[in-house]
Amino acid sequence: MKAAVLRETKKPLQIEDVQISKPGPREVLIRTVAAGICHSDLHIADGLYPYPLPCVLGHESAGVVEAVGSDVRYVEPGDHVITCLSAFCGHCEHCITGHMSRCTGAETQRGPKEDPRLTTEGKPMFQFINLSSYAEQMLVHEHTIVKIRKDMPLDRAALIGCGVMTGAGAVFHTAKVEPGSTVAVLGCGGIGLSAINGAAIAGAGRIIAIDMVGSKLNLAKHFGATDVINAADDDVVKVVRELTGGGVHYSFEAIGLKKTAEQAFKMVRTGGTATVIGMIPVGTMVEIHGAELLQEKKLQGSMMGSNRFRVDMPRLVDFYLSGKLKLDEMISSTLSLKDINQGFETLRKGEVARQVIKFD
């Protein structure tokens, strides 16, 4: 199969022929239909987060089941599925207490004595966070997929696999936004727009979108923002506090920067919660004023929207098909796999919401 391989950070991905193994007892072989281009992949490619190389990147995807292992009962060939990087073992402390997105069990991967799922010229190829979806096929553990209804367009469904689940889930699960509350979202890429959309679905009374790109702010209005602030022109913390009479109840940082994480904390009111969704580079320290903690303000992180993806993703599909969740507007362009480096370069410029790779 053809796959986009990262052999060296800060260098272009290479389209190569990669060999894929046959499904083990609890594994599923999927024909990839669509894969979103996500900042998480770009962080690995640019060396901001360490990962063993060479590997096939990609993790936000949807496809059709081609074959299943002998012990798989959840899906069968022909089923449509969304993948999720939050693979769960089902029996660790995190899983049995309802926090499956935190699972760190390694049993959803092949062990060192087993044949690797991916190889090239007889040498092992690392699989990116259990998936590797910049490829024509994926071989995954059954606990990395969710079955969805077949009337859901798979290029839209792919977005739910990471960005949408991360943004909306941070609103629904991590922060638990209440109806009528005030919300600010810093960053209007795919994850930020999903947080805005999620806040609107949750019934937030006022939703403030913050970005430096005018086109993204215009898009944010379609996703539910009631107010927009251009961070290139304004002191965003001051403006948010003025708009809300003291700060928002909930803020969401969806960029992954020290400055914006600190701004997110500063703009919440007494008793408010700031949730960092963005991937802040390894080694970066975020500073807050200790006195503000006495106001019962909270700064927290969110791992993939604190999801329970086998429950959440079908619900998000239903939201889309009923018109509540906006995915069509999020897709800036569609590309083929050979255009992956062009897609990464566009993502670096920060001017698009989501690009989607579509496979033949």
Write out the catalytic residue numbers: 38, 40, 43, 59, 162
User: In the structure, how many helices (H) and strands (E) does the chain have?
Assistant: 11, 19
Residue 230: its H or E element: strand 227-230
Retrieve residue 194's tokens.
């999903």
At 65, phi and psi to the nearest 5? -65, 130
Q: Is 171 helix (H, G, I), strand (E, B) or coil?
A: helix
Torsion of CA 35, 39, 44, 46, to 10 degrees: 120
Pairing of strands 123-127, 118-120: antiparallel
- For 172, 193, 237, the CA distances from 248, given in Å and listed in that order, are 17, 18, 10
Q: Is 164 helix (H, G, I), strand (E, B) or coil?
A: helix
Q: Is 254 helix (H, G, I), strand (E, B) or coil?
A: coil
Cα dihedral sign, 174-261-245-226: negative
Q: At what angle are helices 190-202 and 214-222 packed, to 10 degrees? A: 30
Residue of 76, 101, 69, 105 whose CA lies nearest to 89:
105
Write down the residue that tokens 């802040």 correspond to: 280
Write down the residue that tokens 């379609």 correspond to: 222
Pairing of strands 268-276, 298-301: parallel
Residue of 226, 243, 225 whose CA lies nearest to 234:
243
The stretches of 273-339 forming alpha helices (DSSP H) are 290-293, 309-321
The stretches of 83-173 forming alpha helices (DSSP H) are 93-96, 154-159, 165-169
By the 8 A CB rule, do 164 and 192 touch? no
By the 8 A CB rule, do 270 and 297 touch? yes
